[in-house]
């Protein structure tokens, strides 16, 4: 029985490696088809400067994939989780989902004449963001519900997809989907080529990410975890619908991230990537497991090529997590030092 088991395990392992290679090829093809992000040699980590961060990543992946070594991890257990805002794409001057909310209020305004005088909508329509933000969390939730609820899931997916196809960044003029970090795209691809299953664990809306995560990151909808509002199943004219309700279901941020990971994945990741205090618990949870672990924080240090912010920022504050990273020896990426390029090269047809 034992010998037979060992043989089967070896065979399973061998086939698993074969699958990993096939998968990496498939994902490379998917990414290539997706656009410019990996047109130039993405393997392994071509846009990363040599240094402690790149070395930590490569050392970790080498250890967990070395079938003969003491730190070998079965492919099924190679789970990697990525925050989105500030980790995979930019989050300044404000979260991109907030741009969506503002544009959506404008698009819906003709159906809501009362918004001309009703706050916080009146301020949104006047473009007075300071007044909107002065309304605090309550105002943001009001705008969030008005722009995220009331549709079916199918309708909402189409709304987001259509918006994302043209929405541009106010500073760079790039499409928001081109405000992703080239080195992180390479990291996603490198991990998948090494047999990892990559998940996004975002404080943003789960259904806000799903319409484009496969195309932009190579992460399919079923591997996106995020904040959500409630949905309700109902029949309309004999056709089933999932209707989005104006009620918060789950907040996938801070201590919510390990909860979301458990709900969706059901096992502990071995690698976690974030950039702010909202990712602290995800990194704690990931690194508290037995065996080799990788925890990495992206520190925004490059005011010239992107933005420089951290301990004092209201968006993407990196304070407690930075202290903990230093104390625990987590990898901290210095964007200015560690990344050769920030954003992917983009070739425009027009």
Which DSSP string corresponds to 213-274?
HHHHHS--GGGEEEEEEEEEEEEETTEEEEEEEEEEEE--STTHHHHHHHHHT-S--SEEEE
Decide: is 40 part of the binding site for its own copies (CB under 8 A).
no
Nearest 10 degrees: CA dihedral of 123, 254, 160, 197? Answer: 170
Minimum CB distance to its own copies, residue 318 (Å): 19
Nearer of residues 122 and 242 to its own copies, judged by Cβ? 242
Nearer of residues 173 and 327 to its own copies, judged by Cβ? 327
Q: Which of 109, 167, 259, 308 binds its own copies (CB under 8 A)?
A: 259
The footprint of its own copies on residues 212-231 (CB under 8 A) is 214, 220-224, 228, 231
Nearest 10 degrees: CA dihedral of 310, 262, 227, 177? Answer: 70
Backbone phi, then psi, for 128, in 5-degree steps?
-95, 80
Q: Which of 65, 284, 301, 331 binds its own copies (CB under 8 A)?
A: 284
Q: Which of 3, 41, 173, 266 binds its own copies (CB under 8 A)?
A: 266
How far the first Cα of the chain sits from its last, in Å, is: 66
Pairing outcome for strands 79-82 and 294-299: unpaired
Decide: is 320 part of the binding site for its own copies (CB under 8 A).
no
Q: Which of 40, 112, 232, 340 binds its own copies (CB under 8 A)?
A: 232
Nearer of residues 140 and 214 to its own copies, judged by Cβ? 214
The residue range among 7-15, 58-66, 89-97, 329-337 that interacts with its own copies, by the rule CB under 8 A, is 7-15
Nearest to 172 by CA among 304, 298, 84, 42: 304
Decide: is 11 part of the binding site for its own copies (CB under 8 A).
yes
Decide: is 165 part of the binding site for its own copies (CB under 8 A).
no
Nearest to 198 by CA among 66, 27, 82, 294: 82
Q: Which of 12, 49, 326, 337 binds its own copies (CB under 8 A)?
A: 12
- Residues near its own copies (CB under 8 A), total: 54
Burial of 314 (0-12, 13-18, 19+ CB in 10 A): exposed
Cβ neighbours of residue 180 closer than 8 Å, sequence gap 6 or more = 37, 88, 89, 216, 217, 343, 344
Decide: is 74 part of the binding site for its own copies (CB under 8 A).
no
List the structure tokens of 265: 């994945």
Q: Which of 165, 288, 345, 346 binds its own copies (CB under 8 A)?
A: 288
Beta partners for 273?
A: 82, 296
Decide: is 267 part of the binding site for its own copies (CB under 8 A).
yes
Q: Would you report the helix, strand and coil content of the chain in percent, each value rounded to 5?
A: 50, 20, 35
CB atoms within 10 A of CB 111: 7
Go through 250-276 and write b for each residue having 16 or more CB atoms within 10 A of its CB, e for each that does not.
Answer: bebbbebbbbbbeebbeebbbbbbbbb
Q: Which of 41, 70, 240, 327 binds its own copies (CB under 8 A)?
A: 240
The footprint of its own copies on residues 101-160 (CB under 8 A) is 153
Question: Any idea what DSSP says for residue 151?
Answer: S
The residue range among 137-145, 251-259, 312-320, 329-337 that interacts with its own copies, by the rule CB under 8 A, is 251-259
Decide: is 9 part of the binding site for its own copies (CB under 8 A).
yes
Decide: is 264 part of the binding site for its own copies (CB under 8 A).
yes
The residue range among 28-36, 167-175, 312-320, 330-338 that interacts with its own copies, by the rule CB under 8 A, is 28-36
Which residues are near its own copies by CB under 8 A? 1, 5, 8-9, 11-12, 15-16, 18-19, 22-23, 25-26, 29-30, 32-33, 76, 79, 153, 197, 206-207, 210, 214, 220-224, 228, 231-234, 239-240, 242, 255-256, 258-259, 262-267, 281, 284-285, 288, 349
């Amino acid at each position: 029985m034992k010998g037979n088991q060992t043989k089967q395990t070896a065979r399973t392992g061998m086939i698993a490696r074969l699958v990993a290679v096939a998968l990496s090829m498939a994902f490379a093809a998917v990414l290539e088809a997706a656009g410019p992000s990996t047109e130039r040699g993405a393997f392994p980590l071509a846009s990363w400067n040599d240094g402690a961060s790149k070395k930590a990543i490569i050392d970790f992946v080498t250890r967990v994939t070395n079938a003969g070594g003491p730190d070998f991890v079965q492919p099924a257990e190679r789970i990697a989780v990525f925050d989105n805002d500030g980790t995979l794409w930019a989050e300044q001057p404000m979260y991109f989902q907030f741009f969506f909310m503002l544009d959506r209020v404008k698009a819906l305004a003709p159906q809501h004449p009362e918004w001309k005088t009703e706050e916080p909508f009146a301020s949104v329509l006047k473009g007075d963001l300071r007044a909107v933000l002065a309304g605090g969390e309550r105002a943001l939730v009001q705008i969030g519900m008005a722009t995220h609820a009331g549709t079916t899931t199918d309708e909402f997916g189409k709304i987001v997809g259509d918006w994302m196809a043209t929405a541009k960044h106010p500073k760079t003029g790039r499409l928001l989907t081109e405000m992703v970090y080239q080195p992180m795209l390479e990291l996603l691809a490198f991990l998948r080529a090494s047999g990892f299953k990559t998940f996004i664990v975002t404080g943003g809306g789960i259904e806000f990410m799903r319409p484009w995560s496969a195309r932009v990151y190579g992460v399919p909808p079923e591997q996106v975890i995020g904040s959500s509002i409630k949905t309700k199943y109902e029949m309309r004219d004999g056709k089933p619908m999932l209707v989005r309700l104006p009620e918060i279901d789950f907040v996938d941020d801070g201590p919510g991230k390990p909860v979301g990971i458990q709900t969706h994945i059901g096992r502990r990741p071995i690698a976690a990537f974030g950039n702010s205090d909202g990712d602290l618990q995800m990194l704690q949870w990931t690194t508290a497991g037995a065996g080799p672990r990788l925890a990495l924080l992206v520190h925004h240090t490059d005011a010239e090529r992107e933005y420089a912010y951290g301990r004092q920022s209201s968006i993407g504050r990196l304070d407690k997590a930075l202290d903990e990273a230093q104390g625990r020896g987590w990898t901290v990426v210095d964007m200015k030092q560690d990344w050769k390029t920030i954003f992917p090269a983009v070739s425009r047809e027009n």
